[in-house]
Structure 1
C-alpha cells in the first residue's frame, strides 16, 4: 500500500558527517512500519565535505542551513516536517528495524508527549572502551527511565520523539544554547505532559565524542550543564560545544 503523506518525520542534524549519514539513513529506509509512510529530513549546517551529496542519495529532504547550531537545525527540520510524530536522531546513530514502529505506537496513549528510545553502543572498541560504553549507555538509559518516572525527564537527543503539535507548543529546541539543548527540551516537555522511555525502541550510536575528548572532561561538562540548565533553568556554562571533528 502506498501512502501519500508521511505520518512520521525523522530529523537528522548534520555537520561533516559524510561517513556516517548514509548508514543512518539506510537504517531509516529499512524500517518495518506498516502504519504509514516515514520521511527522513537531513538538515546540514553547510558542511564543507560530501555530507549533503551522500544524504541526497537516501533522504527525502535535504536542507542546507547556512548557520550553525544543532537546536536551530532540528527546529528547521521540524518546520519542514509533514509527519504528526517527530523523531530526532543523530547522524552517527543506527536504528533497529522496529524502532519507528515502537516509538510511534507509544503515542497511542494520548497523555504521552515525549518518548526516548534505548541507546546501545555501535562501534567495535577495545575491551576497556567497551566496558566504558556499556556503563555509559546503561547509565544514560537508567537516568532517562528514572527521571521520566518521577516527572522530570532527562532525555538525550540522540533518539527522542514528540508530537509535532506539542513540539510547536513548547517552542522546539533552544537555538541560543551551544549544548544541553536536549536537557532544556526535556524540561519543557516534562512540564506539560507525560514522558516515558520505550525500552523496545533500540538505537545504536557512537561514543566517539567521549573517547576522543576524554571521559572525565566530558562527564564533568555534562554534570555542570545539567545543574545549570535543568536544575537552575540557566544557560549552559560553555558558549561553544566542540564538534567531534575538532576534538
Structure 2
C-alpha cells in the first residue's frame, strides 16, 4: 500500500481539487490511502477533506514537517508519499511512485513541478527551479526535493528521523539524511501542478534563498549528523 499525506491549514478553497485528483488515480483506490493532517483550520477544510480522505485529524506536532510526521506515524503503507493541499495531482502519480520503488536501493523518490496558474512568468520560474533540481541531482551536490512531490520507503523514513520541524527547507534537509541510507532518485516525469501563490507573495529568489539557507544551516546541527556513507 502507498500512503499519501496531505498537510492542511485553512485550505477550503484548494483542498477539494487536490483530493479529487488524488481520488481519481489510475490504480485501484484499495491500493492507496489518503491521510489529511490539519493544523486546526478555522474554515471548512476538514469537513471537505472527510468526503475523500481515509483519515482526517488535527496535527499534534509543530509546523508542516510535523504534520507530515504525524501522518506518516498514522499511515499503513510501505511507501509514504507527500503532497500539498493546493496541488493538483496527475492521474498516474501514485502508479509512477510505486514503479519508482521497484528498485530496492531507492529510499526516496521525488519529481518536478508545473504551475497551476497561467502566465509565462510562472512557467519560467518553475522551469528554472526544475533546471536547478536536475543540476543538483546529476552533480550530486543538492537534492532539491519538494514536500509537494516526494515519497519515501517507510522503513528508511523512520530510520532517518523523519522531517525536522523547521520554518522552511525541511523538504530539502531530509534528503541529506535519506541519501545516507540509500538512493535518492529524481524522476523527471513525476510531476504535480503546483500553486504559485507563495512565490507571488514572497518572490521566487527570496523563497529559494530561504530554503537553501535554512537547509545549509540545519546541516550543521550535531543532532542530525550521520555516517559519511553515501549512495550515488
Asked whether the equivalents of residues 86 and 161 of structure 1 are also in contact (C-alpha less than 8 Å), the reply is: yes
Asked whether the equivalents of residues 72 and 174 of structure 1 are also in contact (C-alpha less than 8 Å), the reply is: yes
CA distance in 2, matches of 1:35, 1:10: 12
CA distance in 2, matches of 1:185, 1:38: 23
Question: So what's the TM-score if we normalise by structure 2?
Answer: 0.88
Query: Which residues in structure 2 correspond to 1:190-201 (within 5 Å)?
Result: 190-201=179-190
1:110 aligns with 2:99: no
Question: So what's the TM-score if we normalise by structure 1?
Answer: 0.83
Asked whether the equivalents of residues 116 and 195 of structure 2 are also in contact (C-alpha less than 8 Å), the reply is: yes
CA distance in 2, matches of 1:144, 1:35: 31
Change (3 A) 1:16 1:62: same
CA distance in 2, matches of 1:76, 1:209: 24
Unaligned runs of 5+ in 2: 224-232
Which residue does the alignment assign to 1:244?
Answer: none
Q: Deviations 1:211-230 (Å, cap 9, x if unpaired)?
A: 12234433442343344235
Which residue does the alignment assign to 2:143?
Answer: 153
Query: Which residues in structure 2 correspond to 1:1-247 (within 5 Å)?
Result: 7-33=1-27, 37-66=31-60, 68-124=62-118, 130-151=119-140, 152-175=142-165, 177-229=166-218, 232=220
Asked whether the equivalents of residues 9 and 87 of structure 1 are also in contact (C-alpha less than 8 Å), the reply is: yes
Unaligned runs of 5+ in 1: 1-6, 125-129, 236-247
SS at match of 2:186: strand
Which residue does the alignment assign to 1:127?
Answer: none
Question: What is the count of residue pairs matched by the alignment?
Answer: 222
Off by >3 Å, runs of 4+ in structure 1 = 214-217, 232-235
Provide the alpha-carbon RMSD of the alignment: 2.1
CA distance in 2, matches of 1:132, 1:229: 31
Once the 2 structures are TM-superposed, how far is the Cα of residue 168 of structure 1 from its aligned partner? 0.7
Change (3 A) 1:82 1:223: closer
